[in-house]
Structure 1
Amino acid sequence: MKCAVIHRPSEAALSLIARKVRDKALRDIIENGHVESIGICQGTVLEIIVASDTAEKTSDVMVCEINGSCPQHMTCLGLFGKTSAVTAAMDAIKAIQF
C-alpha cells in the first residue's frame, strides 16, 4: 500500500480533496481549512478497510474514502486531524503486514 502525509496542506490540495469526499460534514471541515495534516493511503479494498479501522483505533483522526473517477472504486483513504494524530495513525498503518 502507498502512503503519504501532507502537513499544513495548501488551499489547492484541500480543494482537490474536498471535491472527492462525499461526507458533507467532513467536506465542510476540509473546505474551511480546519485540517492540520492529511494522511493518504492507496491500496486494495481490503487494505483500505483494515487501514481505516487501524487509524481510528490508534488516534483521534477523521477517516474517509477519497473517491476516484468511478463512484464504485475505492481508491484512497484520507486521514484528517492534528499532525501528531495523523502521524501516529500513519505509523500504525505502515506497521500492518498485509
Structure 2
Amino acid sequence: MQEALTNALRHGDTGRTVALRLDWTPDWVAVTIDNALRLPAAPAPRAENGHGLPGMRERALLAGGSLTAGPIGGVFSVAARLPTATKTAGVLPAPVPEVRA
C-alpha cells in the first residue's frame, strides 16, 4: 500500500483524489489503489527488483498472494490480494488498532 501511494504521488495527477479500497475475509485481504494519471504521462517506472511495481509483485508472490497494476482509461490501478496467514510466516498478522476520529 505504501509503495502504491508513493507511486501515485510521484507519477499521478496530484490535483486529483486517490481512492483506496480495503476488503477482507478470514482468509485474505485485498487492497486496491486507484489514482488519476498525470497528463502528459510520467515516465514508466524502472524495472528493478525490490523497487516500484516489480518489487511489489515480488513481495506479493513471496507472501502467497498476487498483484496487478496498470492503466485503465485515465486511472492507474494497483490491486493486491494477500493471504491473512501464510505457511512461511508462522504467525497471524497483528490486529489493526482501532482508529478514532
Per residue, is there more strand in 1 or in 2? 2
Fold-level match, TM-score > 0.5?
no
Per residue, is there more helix in 1 or in 2? 1
TM-score (norm 2): 0.36
Bigger Rg, which one: 2
- Structure with larger RCO (C-alpha < 8 A, sep 6+): 1
